Amino acid sequence: MMNLRTLRNCIVALWAICLCAGCVPEPLPIELDEAESLPVVWSQALPGNGAIVYLAKSFTALSYQEGDSTATDELLAQMLVSNGIITISHAGETDTLVEITSGVYAALSMAIVPGDEYQLTATDPVLGKTVRATTTAYGVVPIDSVGYTRIDSATAHVRVHFNDPQGNNYYALHFYSRYTNPLEVDDPLAADNTVVTKLVTDLEFESNQAMFEVELTELDSDTLYVSLNNISPIYFDYLGQRQRGGTIYNQLVQEPINYVTNVQGGYGMFTLHLPSLQMLIMED
Amino acid sequence: MRKWTLLLYAAVAMALQVHAQTTISGHIKDAKTGEPIFYATILVPGSGYGATSNEYGYFSLTIPNDYSGDSIKVECTILGYPKMNKTFAKGASYTYEFAMMEQQLELKTIEIVADRGGLSRVNEAQMSAIRIPIKDIRKIPCLGGETDIIKVVQLMPGVQRGGEGGTGMFVRGGTADQNLVLLDEATIYNIGHLFGFFSVFNSDALHDMTMVKGAFPGEYGGRLSSILDIRMKEGNNREFHGSGGIGLLSSRITLEGPIEKDTSSFMIAARRTYIDKVFNAAGLFLPYYFYDVNLKANRWMGPKDRLFFSSYLGQDVLAFNESDVETDEADSTRTSPFGFGFTLGNFSNTLRWNHIYNNKTFSNISFIHTKFNYDIKGNFDNNNILIRSDVRDLGVKVDYDYFKAADHKIKYGGQLTQHLFKPNVVSTSGEIADYLKAREGQRLASYEYALYGSTEKDFRAGLWKINAGMRISGSFVKAASYSGIEPRVSARYMLNEFSSLKLGYSRMKQYMHLVSSSSVALPTDLWYPVTAGIRPQRSDQVVLAYNRWFAKPKLQFEAEAYYKHMDALIEYREGANLILNDNFEKELIQGSGDSYGFEFLVQRSSGRLNGWIAYTLSWATRQFDQLNDGKVFWARYDRRHNFNIVANYTLTKRWDVSAVWEYASGARFTAQVGQYLVPNATFTGVDVIPIYTERNAVSMSPSHRLDINFILKARPNKPKKFKSEWHFGCYNFYNRATPFRIQIRPNDDGTVGYHYEQPGLFGFIPSIAYNFTF
């Protein structure tokens, strides 16, 4: 009669044989129709009067993959569209934006009137495609005060007080550490995990004297910049999608999603909002 | 006065008529084991009178007094057994037990009388039903050499598998949670071990399996797409026997025998994987194992009463402890090692009471308890976390069979179940408790009920058979209650002696759902009831079927066309987080779905060469206002073609060979086909935004795979009680990938750039197993 040790050894040996004989199948190739290259628009209202619009184009999934650091700068340059024609119409007047550097266009004397509607058209001369987008301008919502409670050297409980204007409002609050001063960004491709973005609607406030609370962790400085942005609902949705789709778990197990856009015939987001900014030095 | 006299006269005449009838009732059993035989046909040849045994082997056949002849010859037939005859004198009631002797296959004289057995599929009003004898399932090659009932069901028409090797079933365009899997009437919520790669059912412990995927009879409900009704062995009530097997992944042992001969018996089966032990022996570390135990006992309490108790316990255990791993990098400053693990499992118990009221009325009352739970544990230094979710059912179910006449059967009953849900209970200690607060989670109780009645009657001398029924179901939960009527009807029309046309309609309602954000079975999947905000799912299905029995080659041919519309289907919002989310109800959305298709099955259940060929041509779509811009999209497992060949062939007296060839269109996938760059929200960097196709717009490449299994049996000329056989098999014989996703990879030919490719999970995997009986 076979004893247990012999039986175990037999099973281990059979496992070894089967593992050695087993094969991993070669992946099957597949050809997919790549997405057509379309214009990409992104915008930012400028303090004072004016706006900046970025014009780029989309590219194929096989051109670049995240983690391919060698391609990034070159790719960025290739994707920006020079000699584009961009106009913004508002209140019966049309401004044609001036290209200030490759792919970046500016309207430096355009009035940003909160609540007014603005129409953008952008043409990529190489692709021969024109996209259109419409947005409402949002004015500055000033930050009344920023309070904090220091929990430890890397953690703080922060409270942002502001007056919530009438109507339905959607807010994005950005919290920057000292080393990512938004006014001194010189490396646009540098990722910094000390920037935290929080999204909130005014439905969560009990009165128009709004207070937003957040616990910030992993702070590497006692200096904090807080930016409050009253944004359009579609941009709010876009940022929400980015946050939800950004976790590793969601990327692994969830269905991928196409991000919302208000650009007809292309991608990106045309939005005109003005941030308010406050600096805070947190003492222990 | 005259009126009362007439009434009395009529009553006496009816009583005399009833008395003049001949009723034969009893059980149909396997002569050797005493196990009941389900769905056997009992008929009076040439008369059109017949009956079928129910799921406890009970039958009742009433022949009216106008039957010509002094005696009645009754024939009992079932596939795999020679027919058995018995003659009864007219005008009396009989209780009789048909003890069927299983046909032993001999190469030169293979002749199982299957004509009538094959015809029963043609004769019955039921369509869209799958019945595969468990003994046939054991021959079919499966992944890792593990016999797997679910993998075999996936080879039948209308049942799509999910990912490769998984136990997910997608029946007629439905989702995986739309299948009610019953083991001795208890719901089994998690049907997969090892993340769903192996089913939780130990085939040695099983007696019979029936799957219904359309034209549902009244007694079935609670899920939209299918009911998989699995019955455990009762245990041999004549002799003590055992069986078992040693495979590469697990070993199993089953013992069965009489407690008191012909009166009571037991069966106990246990299985455990030992991949953890094998890895350990090889100097590797894999802290995972699963096990399951089946137990069943029954006892005749008298000629009319029988009690059954059955129980199932199955667990998956992952227990990683850093101290178990010998490593040079262990951090000596830690006060306790890092640990992580989970346990995931089902536990079910059923107590049943069969009672025969008279020779026409049979009842079964079941008390059912079932529990499905998962615990996820982790510890690091002095921090401990435990996340627990469970669902527990307590229920009672009553079924009555009334065999009114040979051509008329009535079935009615009801069911009440309390579901208790405890999702996401969190317990923490140590510093982690400051960040992740302990909480009891959201306790929910729901009460689900159903009442049903159905009648099956022959018309025009058996030309037509109609089964009509109604099921009234509902569910009470906190702040909401739902109820609904589920009409069921199926009709069969005999085209000739060997073929029939069938038409069926059924409505199904489902009052609980699986909240899962993945097609893979994860420990974090949650079952959740209907609530004030989440309505019950509903389906309406129409089936048209053609059945034909070819007596000469003993072939069963079935062709079915179906259309199913589903409402209030569950999905989660894009980007929803379901883990540790107490308010995940907010993340759920509801939409609709449609599926339609054609299914063909050619099946030979006896002979030296047996098996089946199944082909399914199907379409399945979904529509949710919040997904894919509200546009209709393909379901994830919308596979256009599915073609399976299953063949068992007796080579010699000692050698059998079985083969499965499977061809399936690729599953649907949402692929990345472009991208663009935009500044991030804080203008401190650039985001790469992917562009995907519409949801599930890409069909992956078709897959096909050949699995083979050779069986070497003991020498037949040496009759011994201990018999053994070897199984030598291989999965994916020609090592072709079955795509489960599309990924982008750098070119591997030296050129700069990327390409799409579709990896597969399992390649050529040989297996060997040793099985024995005594």
Q: Which among A84, A118, A136 is the end of a domain?
A: A136
As a whole number of angstroms, the distance between CA B746 and CA B755 comes to 6
As a whole number of angstroms, the distance between CA B237 and CA B239 comes to 6
* Confidence category of residue B10, pLDDT binned at 50, 70, 90: very low
> Is the residue at A4 inside a domain?
no
Please tell me the predicted confidence (pLDDT) of residue B108.
43
> Is the residue at A113 inside a domain?
yes
CB contact under 8 A, B679 and A188: yes
Please tell me the predicted confidence (pLDDT) of residue A241.
86
A149 and A198 housed in the same domain: yes
Task: Nearest by CB to A76, from B282, B686, B698: name it.
Answer: B686
A80 and A97 housed in the same domain: yes
CB contact under 8 A, B754 and A176: no
Please tell me the predicted confidence (pLDDT) of residue B585.
78
* Confidence category of residue A273, pLDDT binned at 50, 70, 90: very high
CB contact under 8 A, B278 and A11: yes
pLDDT higher at B277 or A138:
A138
A162 and A184 housed in the same domain: yes
Number of Cβ atoms within 10 Å of the Cβ of B762: 20
The answer, yes or no, to whether residue B751 has pLDDT greater than 90, is no
In this prediction, residues B149-162 reach a mean pLDDT of: 91
What is the number of helices (H) and of strands (E) in chain B?
Answer: 6, 48
Task: Nearest by CB to B675, from A9, A24, A61: name it.
Answer: A61
Burial of B496 (0-12, 13-18, 19+ CB in 10 A): exposed
Name residue B228's beta-bridge partners.
B181, B211
Residue B619 is encoded by which pair of tokens?
A: 């379409």
A149 and A236 housed in the same domain: yes
Task: Nearest by CB to A239, from B670, B681, B755: name it.
Answer: B681
pLDDT higher at B109 or B692:
B692
In this prediction, residues B282-287 reach a mean pLDDT of: 77
* Residue in A71, A47, A69 with CA at minimum distance from that of residue A59: A71
A147 and A132 housed in the same domain: no
Q: What is the nearest CA distance from B528 to chain A, expressed in angstroms? A: 19
**For position A63, which CATH number holds?**
2.60.40
A159 and A126 housed in the same domain: no
* Confidence category of residue A181, pLDDT binned at 50, 70, 90: very low
pLDDT digits (tens, 9 = 90+) for B415-451: 999 999 887 777 777 777 766 677 776 788 999 999 9
Burial B50-83 (b: 16+ CB within 10 A, else e): bbbbbbbbbbbbbbeeebeeeebebbbbbbbbeb
Q: Is B576 near chain A, with CB under 8 Å?
A: yes
Best of A247, A257, A273 to disrupt the B interface (most B CBs within 10 Å) is A257
Residue B750 amino acid letter: G
Burial of B570 (0-12, 13-18, 19+ CB in 10 A): buried
Please tell me the predicted confidence (pLDDT) of residue B109.
39
The answer, yes or no, to whether residue A247 has pLDDT greater than 90, is no
> Is the residue at A250 inside a domain?
no
Name residue A18's beta-bridge partners.
none
CB contact under 8 A, B757 and A75: no
Please tell me the predicted confidence (pLDDT) of residue A246.
58
Residue A59 amino acid letter: F
Torsion angle of C-alpha atoms B511, B516, B522, B527, degrees rounded to 10: -20
Q: Is the ipTM of this structure higher than 0.85?
A: yes
CA B171 vs. chain centroid, Å, equals 11
Q: Is B404 near chain A, with CB under 8 Å?
A: no
DSSP code at position B497:
T
pLDDT digits (tens, 9 = 90+) for B228-277: 999 999 999 889 999 999 888 888 999 999 999 889 999 999 999 988 88
Please tell me the predicted confidence (pLDDT) of residue B7.
47
CB contact under 8 A, B684 and A188: yes
As a whole number of angstroms, the distance between CA B509 and CA B539 comes to 7
Residue A125 backbone class (left: φ over 0; alpha: ψ -120 to 50; beta: rest): alpha
If residue B426 lies in a helix (H) or strand (E), which one and from where to where?
strand B408-429
Structural domain for A186, as ranges: 143-245
**Percentage of the residues of chain B whose pLDDT score is greater than 90:** 46
CB contact under 8 A, A188 and B274: no
Please tell me the predicted confidence (pLDDT) of residue A2.
54
Q: What is the nearest CA distance from B664 to chain A, expressed in angstroms? A: 15
Task: Nearest by CB to A40, from B678, B693, B767: name it.
Answer: B678
Residue B749 amino acid letter: D
**Percentage of the residues of chain B whose pLDDT score is greater than 70:** 90
In this prediction, residues B196-207 reach a mean pLDDT of: 88
Q: In chain B, positions 434-473, which contact chain A (CB-CB < 8 Å)?
A: none
Counting Cα atoms < 13 Å in the Cβ hemisphere of A212 gives 25
As a whole number of angstroms, the distance between CA A194 and CA A175 comes to 8
Question: A82: which residues sit within 8 A by CB, 6+ positions away?
Answer: A99, A102, A103
Least CA distance to A198: which residue of chain B? B681
A79 and A155 housed in the same domain: no
Q: Is B701 near chain A, with CB under 8 Å?
A: yes
CA distance to A10, B224, B467, B499, per residue, from B216 (Å):
49, 10, 10, 21
Q: In chain B, positions 493-532, which contact chain A (CB-CB < 8 Å)?
A: 517-518, 520, 522
DSSP code at position B746:
E
* Confidence category of residue A7, pLDDT binned at 50, 70, 90: low
The answer, yes or no, to whether residue A219 has pLDDT greater than 60, is yes
Q: Which among A136, A154, A173 is the end of a domain?
A: A136
Please tell me the predicted confidence (pLDDT) of residue B325.
59
Please tell me the predicted confidence (pLDDT) of residue B737.
92
* Confidence category of residue A11, pLDDT binned at 50, 70, 90: low
Please tell me the predicted confidence (pLDDT) of residue B277.
80
Q: Which of B37-46, B275-284, B643-652 has the lowest mean pLDDT?
A: B275-284
> Is the residue at A266 inside a domain?
no
The answer, yes or no, to whether residue A198 has pLDDT greater than 50, is yes
Contact B40, B76 (CB under 8 A): yes
What does the H/E/C string look like for chain A? CCCHHHHHHHHHHHHHHHHHHCCCCCCEECCCCCCCCCEEEEEEECCCCCEEEEEEECEECCCCCCCCHHHHHHHHHHHECCCCEEEEEECCEEEECEEEECCEEEECCCCCCCCCEEEEEEEECCCCEEEEEEEEEECCCCEEEEEEEEEECCEEEEEEEEECCCCCCEEEEEEEEHHHCHHHCCCCCCCCCCCEEEEEEHHHCCCCEEEEEEEECCCCCCEEEEEEEEECHHHHHHHHHHHHHCCHHHHHHCCCCCCCCCEECCEEECCEECEEEEEEECCC
Please tell me the predicted confidence (pLDDT) of residue B93.
86
Please tell me the predicted confidence (pLDDT) of residue B15.
42
* Residue in B472, B483, B480, B397 with CA at minimum distance from that of residue B444: B480
A109 and A154 housed in the same domain: no
> Is the residue at A228 inside a domain?
yes
The answer, yes or no, to whether residue B454 has pLDDT greater than 90, is yes
Contact B51, B98 (CB under 8 A): no
Helix ranges (DSSP H) in B24-63: none
Q: What is the nearest CA distance from A72 to chain B, expressed in angstroms? A: 10
> Is the residue at A261 inside a domain?
no
Chain A neighbors of B671, CB-CB under 8 A: 32, 61
A155 and A63 housed in the same domain: no
Q: Is B626 near chain A, with CB under 8 Å?
A: no
The answer, yes or no, to whether residue B700 has pLDDT greater than 90, is yes
As a whole number of angstroms, the distance between CA B165 and CA B221 comes to 28
DSSP-based three-state secondary structure for B152: helix
Mean pLDDT over each residue of chain B, to the nearest integer = 86
> Is the residue at A212 inside a domain?
yes
Best of B676, B693, B707 to disrupt the A interface (most A CBs within 10 Å) is B676
Chain A neighbors of B759, CB-CB under 8 A: 25, 27
* Confidence category of residue B110, pLDDT binned at 50, 70, 90: very low
Please tell me the predicted confidence (pLDDT) of residue B683.
78
A101 and A48 housed in the same domain: yes
pLDDT digits (tens, 9 = 90+) for B622-649: 999 988 889 999 998 899 999 999 999 9
Q: Which of B79-83, B388-392, B599-603, B764-768 has the highest mean pLDDT?
A: B599-603
As a whole number of angstroms, the distance between CA B666 and CA B398 comes to 43
Q: Which among A81, A106, A136 is the end of a domain?
A: A136
How far from each other are the two terminal CA atoms of chain B, in whole angstroms? Answer: 73
* Residue in B213, B223, B295 with CA at minimum distance from that of residue B255: B295
pLDDT digits (tens, 9 = 90+) for B459-496: 887 899 999 999 999 999 988 999 999 999 999 999 99
Contact B206, B200 (CB under 8 A): no
The answer, yes or no, to whether residue B552 has pLDDT greater than 60, is yes
CB contact under 8 A, B766 and A18: yes
Question: B295: which residues sit within 8 A by CB, 6+ positions away?
Answer: B266, B267, B268, B269, B309, B310, B311, B312
Question: B610: which residues sit within 8 A by CB, 6+ positions away?
Answer: B136, B604, B647, B648
As a whole number of angstroms, the distance between CA B664 and CA B648 comes to 21
A209 and A130 housed in the same domain: no
Contact B37, B30 (CB under 8 A): yes
pLDDT higher at A70 or B226:
B226
Please tell me the predicted confidence (pLDDT) of residue B379.
82
Q: Which of B274-288, B360-374, B463-477 has the lowest mean pLDDT?
A: B274-288
The answer, yes or no, to whether residue B523 has pLDDT greater than 60, is no
The answer, yes or no, to whether residue B117 has pLDDT greater than 60, is no
The answer, yes or no, to whether residue B504 has pLDDT greater than 90, is yes
* Confidence category of residue A249, pLDDT binned at 50, 70, 90: low
Q: Is A56 near chain B, with CB under 8 Å?
A: yes
> Is the residue at A231 inside a domain?
yes
As a whole number of angstroms, the distance between CA A130 and CA A124 comes to 6
In this prediction, residues B758-769 reach a mean pLDDT of: 88
Number of domains in chain A: 2
Mean pLDDT over each residue of chain A, to the nearest integer = 83
Q: Is A188 near chain B, with CB under 8 Å?
A: yes
Q: In chain A, positions 64-83, which contact chain B (CB-CB < 8 Å)?
A: 64-66, 75-76, 79
DSSP code at position B629:
G
Q: Is A15 near chain B, with CB under 8 Å?
A: yes
**Percentage of the residues of chain A whose pLDDT score is greater than 70:** 81
Please tell me the predicted confidence (pLDDT) of residue B111.
42
pTM of the shown model: 0.86
Please tell me the predicted confidence (pLDDT) of residue B120.
81
Please tell me the predicted confidence (pLDDT) of residue B9.
47
Please tell me the predicted confidence (pLDDT) of residue B483.
94
pLDDT digits (tens, 9 = 90+) for B510-519: 999 987 655 5
pLDDT higher at B108 or B236:
B236
CB contact under 8 A, B732 and A9: no
* Confidence category of residue A194, pLDDT binned at 50, 70, 90: low
Please tell me the predicted confidence (pLDDT) of residue B623.
97
A61 and A84 housed in the same domain: yes
Please tell me the predicted confidence (pLDDT) of residue B579.
62
The answer, yes or no, to whether residue A229 has pLDDT greater than 90, is yes
Contact B121, B78 (CB under 8 A): no
Name residue B25's beta-bridge partners.
B60, B95
